[in-house]
Amino acid sequence: MLSNQNMLILLIMIIAVPLLCSTSLLKLDHIYASIDSVTNTTSEKSIPVYMITTRGDLKFPDPVKKNDGYNNKYQFSDINQLKSECPAEIAIFVHGWGNDEFKAKERLDRVKMSLENNSYSIPLIGLSWPSDTSWPAAKLIAKENGPKLANFIIDYVDTCKHQYKKDTIVRLISHSLGARVLLSTLDYLNTNSTWNNNGYKIESVHLLGAAVDNEEVSKNPLDIDGNSTLKHAFGKAIQDEVIRFYNLFSPEDNMLQPKPFKPDNYIYEVYPSPFYENDLALGQSGKDPTIDIQNQVSTPPYYEINVQNQIPAIRNADAMEDKHYLLCSSGICEFTKKGNYDPGLCGGYILDPICRVGIGDNHGGYIGFRNLDNVNLLKDDGAMNIVVKNWESPK
């Protein structure tokens, strides 16, 4: 028979061993998540999502009402209610080129899931703008949408301040050509009397894979190459209107990188540099190193972060089938590759295409990757963990 002392030791062991095992498993789970980024996750706390649109050539962004979000996962929240509540901070996301209404919702939902995965709860607004057109037309439309978004921001911040006596932080995020929308937004704010007389500022801006020229962050208009009616020196607006401005770029971004299929002698696919724009992209190379020091935006507010290693070698970020435009006998032909490679990951000639993906290649992956087995889940959060890190611990 066990003594009272031995009985006590046995009882302690019975209680302690399961607890130790449980703690170990929790630690292993945490390590696994940090190594494999975000695998097949859903969030316990859902971020409220709103959408505004300028489609149909609207002069002021209209709220998207009584409409389902991506894949009918949820209803968009009421933007008018948000204006009356005036939470401490909001985030606005602007998508890139070639997005119809459905793709605009998909991009916004991916940002939502990536923020939720990083446990950052913030009301999220998506701007749906008519980027589903040719590249030359989309660039101009992006510029024209800047003042429209700026007026929405001014109305929101000013209403919260003067009608509801609340200060609110505004954070801006863009992907790809959405960068031109945001830069044009800042340029408009820089000349708006209501904004400047009240001393309003944008708390943070994150450009992800910015499809704009790398000299456009200069303060000097003489640094700008090419079409001066479209392109602009946004440095002064960045300096004056933003508390923290982050350019997140990937040198291996296939949509922005000159000749990504070299040395195989395959040309790259769509963006801009140098074939369409005859320049380098801010989202691939970072700011132009030839900008004189006096024409550069100071740090702060300007920061650059190479996020190549945050974009894994996954060929499909949005779980959709995409068209590619490759060389053929008649010039350029449409091509669809089985296996659902994202734009920029296939190049060369229509009769002998090459498709491949490496770390940092996928232009669509900055905002995260969907799980191809269940599109309502997130496989990886791309560079969005860096965005959240910058929000939580500004440099």
Residues in a beta bridge with 325: 334
* Residue 286 confidence (pLDDT): 97
* Residue 346 confidence (pLDDT): 86
Q: 347-384 as b/e, with b when 16 or more CB fall inside 10 Å? A: bbebeebebbbeebbbbbbbbbbbbeeebeebbbbbbb
pTM for the whole thing?
0.87
* Residue 221 confidence (pLDDT): 96
Backbone angles phi and psi of 50, in degrees to 5:
-130, 155
Pairing of strands 169-175, 89-94: parallel
Residue 109: count of CB within 10 angstroms of its CB: 25
* Residue 66 confidence (pLDDT): 64
Is the distance from CB of 304 to CB of 205 less than 8 angstroms? no
Indicate the burial class of 191 (C-beta count within 10 angstroms; 0-12, 13-18, 19 or more).
Answer: exposed
Q: What is the mean pLDDT of each run of 10 residues along the chain (395 residues)?
A: 43 36 29 35 73 95 85 91 96 97 97 98 98 93 98 98 97 98 98 98 98 96 87 97 98 86 50 62 95 97 98 97 82 76 86 90 98 96 98 92
* Residue 274 confidence (pLDDT): 43
* Residue 2 confidence (pLDDT): 42
* Residue 80 confidence (pLDDT): 92
The full set of domains in the chain, from first to last, is 43-253+277-309+382-392 (3.40.50)
Residue 175's nearest CA partner among 343, 327, 315, 320 is 343
Torsion sign, CA atoms 86, 90, 92, 93: negative
- HSE of 43, CA atoms in CB hemisphere, 13 A: 19
Is the distance from CB of 375 to CB of 71 less than 8 angstroms? yes
Q: Tell me which H or E stretch contains 10.
A: helix 4-35
